[in-house]
DNA sequence: TCAAAAGTGTTGATCCTACACCCATGT
DNA sequence: ACATGGGTGTAGGATCAACACTTTTGA
C-alpha cells in the first residue's frame, strides 16, 4: 500500500456515451450501481485512473470493460472536482464524451453482472453523484461543437442520407431546419461523397446515400477552411 | 501519512496567466523553478490540489500565493495526464487560464523568493514539463473563445477606446482588421457604454472611452443573443 | 392510387467587405 | 504647420431565410 506525505484526491474518469439508434433517437448509456454509494441508482460509466495509463486510455478501457465499445470518437469534456461530489472521499473526475452509432456498433449493454441500458435523452432518471451536471455539460458541448466541427457524422452510419443528417441536427438542437437551405449549406461544403447507392426497402422514393469525406475535410482545414452548419 | 489500497496519481493545477500591458503587449507570467526537476527553467504557476479546496479554489490560491493576483477572470482549460509529463511521479494537472489587465492590476511579479516575470508571447523560453503544450492549448482557446464570448474586455482597463479593443483582437488573431467594419460590428451590438470621457495627454485627437456593459450582455444572452466578432 | 419522404430554385433582405478622407490634439 | 491616430459612409457582392411543388417508391 503506497504512502504519501500529503493526502491526494483520488482520480477517476467518467464518460457520457451518446448513441444514435436506427430510429434516430439520441440515447446515453447508464449503468445501475451495484455497490454503495448510490447503490441501485443510475450512473454513467467510469472508474479509477491507473498509474500506467493516460486519461484517454483510462476512459477507453472503462468503456471497453463496461460496455464492450471500441473504436469510438472520444473527447475530453471537463474536469469535475467539487468537494462532496462523492460522499466517501475526495474524488476528482475527468469527464469525457463519446459518440457512437448503434446500428453498426452492436453494443452489448450488459457485460459484467451489471445492468447497463440505453436511455433516451428525454427519459433520463435522476443520476448518482454529480452525473446530472456532467450530462448537462456534455449536451451543451455537443450542441455547440456540432456546429463548428463535423462530429455529427460519428453518430450516423457510414452511409447516410441528407434527411438523416438533418434530423440529427434537429434532434440535437431541438428545432426544425429548412430542408432546402440545409441541403444547400451541407452540399456547398463539398465534403460529402456520393456513394452512388440508395436506400432499399423504403415505401417512398429512395434517398441517395452519402459518406463524409474526412480526408478532404482535413485537407481543407489545413488551408483555413472552417466547417459550419 | 495517508495510505491507500491503490496508488493514486497526484493532482495539480497549473495556470496560464495572460496579461495585457499599457503598450497593448500580450504577455504571460512565468516562474523560475528553484527546485528539481527542471531547476532553473521557466514554468507556469501551479501546485498541488489540497483536500479541502475545489480545483478552481486551488488555481486561485496558487495565483494569489505566487503572483499576488486576485479578482481575476479564470476558466478551466484542459486536463493533462500523459505518462511521463513529470519525471518524478505520475502527475495529472488540471490547467486553467486567467486574463488580467496589467495597468490597473499592479501585479508584483516576485513575491516569494522566487523569480517571476512577464514574458511577451513572442519571447517565451523553453518551458519545463509539458508547459509548452499547455500554453499552446491556452492560446488556441483564447483565439477561438474571444470570438464568441466577450472575454477580451477582461484584458483591457475598465475604460478603453475602440482602437485599443481592435488592437487586442489584432494581436490575438495575428491579423489586421478593418477599422470601420470593426467599429460598426462592435457598436451595433450595443454593448458598449459611452462614458462621456476621452483620453488625456495624447498628441492626437482624443479617443472616446467606453465600458463593456456586462449587465446588458447578460440580459441579451438570456434572450438568445450571441456575441460574435 | 395513395401515402410518405426525396429532391429541387428563386427572391428579397441582410450582412460582409473593401475602400479614403477630414478631424482634433500636442509638439 | 505637421504628425498622429480618431472618427465616419457607401456600394457591390455574398450569404441567409422563407417558401411549394414534382418525383419516386412500396403497399
Nucleotide nearest to A203 (CA to C1'): D26
Q: How far apart are the C-alpha atoms of B63 and B70, rounded to whole Å? A: 8
- The architecture CATH gives domain B158-222: Orthogonal Bundle (1.10)
Q: Which value, in Å, is the radius of gyration of the alpha carbons in chain B?
A: 20
Structure confidence at residue A109 as a pLDDT band (50, 70, 90): low
Chains A & B: contacts with CB separation below 8 Å: 76
Can you give the residue ranges of every domain in chain A? 10-148, 158-222
Q: Which of B11, B12, B75 to mutate to test the interface with A (most CBs of A within 10 A)?
A: B11
CB-nearest partner of A2 from B7, B55, B79: B7
pLDDT of residue B201: 94
Q: Do A83 and B4 touch (CB under 8 A)?
A: no
Q: Distance, angstroms, CA A181 to C1' C2?
A: 29
**Active-site residue, from A39, A53, A104, A115:** A115
The topology (CATH level 3) of A10-148 is: Nucleoside Triphosphate Pyrophosphohydrolase (3.90.79)
Helix (H, G, I), strand (E, B) or coil at A126: coil
CB atoms within 10 A of CB A12: 20
| Residue A123 CB in 7 A reach of strand C | no
Residues 166-205/B with CB within 7 Å of nucleic chain C are 178-181, 184-185, 198, 200-205
pLDDT of residue A108: 66
Nucleotide nearest to A200 (CA to C1'): D25
A115 is catalytic: yes
CB atoms within 10 A of CB B178: 10
Catalytic residues of B: 115
Nearest to A11 by CA among B185, B48, B97, B208: B48
Q: How far apart are the C-alpha atoms of A86 and A80, rounded to whole Å? A: 11
pLDDT of residue B113: 52
Residue A82, CA atoms < 13 Å, CB-side half-sphere: 9
pLDDT of residue A67: 87
pLDDT of residue B99: 98
pLDDT of residue A114: 73
Q: Which nucleotides of C are covered by protein (CB under 7 A)?
A: 3-10, 16-20, 23-27
Report CA dihedral (A181, A187, A190, A191) to the nearest 10 degrees: 110
Own/partner long-range contacts of B23-26 (Cβ < 8 Å, ≥24 apart): B24/B164, B24/B167, B24/B168, B24/B171, B25/B120, B25/B171, B26/B120, B26/B121, B26/B155, B26/B171, B26/B172
Residues of B in contact with A78 (CB under 8 A): 76
Residues A111-169: pLDDT tens digits? 555 789 999 999 999 999 999 999 999 999 999 999 999 999 999 999 999 999 999 99
Among B residues 44-63, those touching chain A with beta carbons less than 8 Å apart: 48-55
pLDDT of residue B1: 86
Output the tens digit of pLDDT for each of chain B's 229 residues. Answer: 899 999 999 999 999 999 999 999 999 999 999 999 999 999 999 999 999 999 999 999 999 999 888 899 999 999 999 999 999 999 999 999 999 999 988 776 555 557 899 999 999 999 999 999 999 999 999 999 999 999 999 999 999 999 999 999 999 999 999 999 999 999 999 999 999 999 999 999 999 999 999 999 999 999 999 999 9
Instruction: Specify whether the CB–CB gap between A199 and A162 falls below 8 A.
Output: no
Q: At what angle do helices B179-188 and B162-173 cross, to 10 degrees?
A: 110
Q: How far apart are the C-alpha atoms of A131 and A150, rounded to whole Å? A: 26
Residue A45 CA: distances (Å) to CA of A16, A21, A42, A127: 7, 19, 10, 12
Structure confidence at residue A1 as a pLDDT band (50, 70, 90): confident
Q: Identify the bridge partners of residue A184 per DSSP, sorted by sequence position.
A: none
Residues A52-62: pLDDT tens digits? 999 999 999 99
Which DSSP state fits A50? P
Nucleotide D10: closest residue by CA–C1': B180
CB-nearest partner of B1 from A5, A52, A90: A5
| Residue A161 CB in 7 A reach of strand C | yes
pLDDT of residue A112: 57
Instruction: Specify whether the CB–CB gap between B64 and B108 falls below 8 A.
Output: no
Distance of CA B57 to the CA centre of its chain: 16
Amino acid at each position: 500500500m503506497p504512502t504519501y506525505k500529503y493526502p491526494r484526491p483520488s482520480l477517476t474518469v467518467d464518460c457520457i456515451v451518446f448513441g444514435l439508434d436506427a430510429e434516430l433517437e439520441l440515447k446515453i448509456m447508464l449503468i445501475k450501481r451495484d455497490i454503495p454509494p448510490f447503490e441501485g441508482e443510475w450512473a454513467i460509466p467510469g472508474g479509477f485512473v491507473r498509474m500506467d495509463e493516460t486519461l484517454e486510455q483510462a476512459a477507453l478501457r472503462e468503456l471497453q470493460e463496461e460496455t464492450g465499445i471500441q473504436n469510438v470518437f472520444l473527447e475530453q469534456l471537463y474536469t469535475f472536482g467539487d468537494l462532496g461530489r462523492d460522499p466517501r472521499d475526495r474524488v476528482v473526475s475527468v469527464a469525457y464524451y463519446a459518440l457512437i452509432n448503434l446500428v453498426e456498433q452492436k453494443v452489448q449493454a450488459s457485460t459484467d453482472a451489471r445492468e447497463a441500458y440505453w436511455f433516451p435523452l428525454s427519459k433520463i432518471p435522476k443520476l448518482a453523484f454529480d452525473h446530472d451536471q456532467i450530462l448537462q455539460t456534455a449536451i451543451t458541448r455537443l450542441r455547440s461543437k456540432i456546429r463548428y466541427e463535423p462530429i455529427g457524422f460519428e453518430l450516423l452510419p457510414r452511409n447516410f442520407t441528407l434527411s438523416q443528417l438533418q434530423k440529427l441536427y434537429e434532434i440535437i438542437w431541438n428545432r426544425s431546419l429548412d430542408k432546402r437551405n440545409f441541403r444547400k449549406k451541407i452540399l456547398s461544403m463539398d465534403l460529402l461523397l456520393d456513394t452512388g447507392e440508395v436506400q432499399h426497402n423504403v415505401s417512398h422514393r429512395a434517398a441517395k446515400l452519402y459518406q463524409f469525406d474526412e480526408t478532404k475535410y482535413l485537407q481543407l482545414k489545413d488551408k483555413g477552411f472552417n466547417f459550419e452548419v
